[in-house]
Amino acid sequence: MKDLLLNKFVYYNTKIINKMGEQFKIMEYPLLILFIILGATLLMSTNDLVTIFLAIELQSYGLYLLSTVYRNSELATTGGLTYFLLGGLASCFILLGTALLYGNMGSTNLDNLFVITSISETGSDIWYKPHYINFAMVIFIIGFLFKIGAAPFHFWTPDVYDAIPTIVTAFVALIAKVSIFILLLQLVYYTNNSFSEMSWTFILLMSSLFSLIVGTVVGLTQFRIKRLFAYSTISHVGFILLALGISSIESTQAFIFYLTQYTISNLNAFVILIAIGFSLYCYTSDNKEHEELMDKTNSPIQLINQLKGYFYINPVLAISLAITIFSFVGVPPLVGFFGKQMVLSAALDKGLIFLSLVAILTSVIGGVYYLSIIKEMFFSKPDYKVNTLLENLTLKGNIIDQNRTVVKNVSFNYNNIAISSPIAFVISSITLVILLFIFMNKEWLSMGTILVQILFNC
């Protein structure tokens, strides 16, 4: 069953990106997807430092190449090159941290790291002093904070998100981040997080604070939709790092839940953007206000004002995107509200009142730039009209069976063009989960509780 789902996933993603790159076929795309998924799987399942480095590089190289698959797009090539150079810098930090940890432990196995960090500080061996492990872990973690785009190591994220194709942005925003967050959870567990007064996880809390502030304040000035989503992601990373840095049973449960809802909500947002982009191929616009800011060889949806009046073109897609955006804001009773509530509750239980206040304020302020999308879609008059080249165009075709016998003759015009069934199914399913979570929250919370119990009792 898993093989079937993976095959379908690669197949439909290949169709999407080949459709967007009409001038050439991207034959290597399925192979790159498999490399990325393999690297992410290894990263989440390994407990050896060397394998961690190899897995993160396997995942990263696939993402670097995927970012530049539109070779005729100057913007995409620039974004991919930026991603490669700064990703390489992050890998240097990870490799340096690995070397320092190996020098301190004499082993690359994380089980040995757990044993060493559990030893009392009264030992006579200088290499078993906690501050040496802390320093090595800080260097190691800085590399991963670069990779996930957490502040203050976030400066590459908006440029890369905006430059690369939307379908690739979804991979960078989801697969690359989720696998690293799962690894960070393992590192918090393996280092015991209680062996020193100043644990290395303090850097996670500091990065969380910066991410919440930067992701919210700078996001207020954005008019490009994927740059706005980039700063939104930085803000969400702040919440996830807050739950991770607290390192209690309650915060780990909040971490798992928030990461899950973040993943499905972001997936829904990017799939909807792709669907909107394809649907607008049937229309033309008289709005030339920011035409010089668009790269026509890249993603069809690049600016927020391209969504102007989209509710009157496709109400279902517009409402689905609105529900997802309100979930990002944390409006009850959507799933995003419960995620933020769990993280804030865990932070208050640990006495992190200042961080909790910052998180609440940034969530409220962040709603402003989300509402700008809602305003454009629902309260602005659309500038679009049906493409005159399609009005009188009728396409005809045949449906054939396995024996190549014509079963039915079909014809359609622009009125018959609709979102493909797989994309429609994904959007509708995820939107319903976001909207109706309040009626099935026990199942999700029980699953998170079971995972936490397994982690802390193994």
Amino acid at 56: I
390 or 254, which is more confident = 254
pLDDT tens-digit readout, 417-445 = 667 778 888 899 999 999 988 877 666 66
Q: Is the pLDDT of residue 162 over 90?
A: no
The mean of the pLDDT values for the chain is 81
Q: Of the candidates 260, 199, 173, 201, which has an alpha carbon nearest to the alpha carbon of residue 451?
A: 260
**CA–CA distance, 242 with 209 (Å, rounded to integer):** 8
Q: Contact at 8 Å (CB) between 347 and 359? A: yes
Place of tokens 């994220």: 157
Q: Is the pLDDT of residue 22 over 50?
A: no
pTM, rounded to two decimals: 0.87
**Beta-carbon neighbour count of residue 186 at 10 Å?**
17
pLDDT tens-digit readout, 55-92 = 999 999 988 988 887 777 777 788 888 899 999 999 99
Here the tokens at position 449 are 């509780």
pLDDT tens-digit readout, 90-125 = 999 999 999 988 888 788 888 877 777 666 444 545
> Average pLDDT, stretch 370-374?
92
Q: What is the pLDDT of residue 45?
A: 86
3-state secondary structure of 170: helix
> Average pLDDT, stretch 326-341?
92
3-state secondary structure of 410: strand
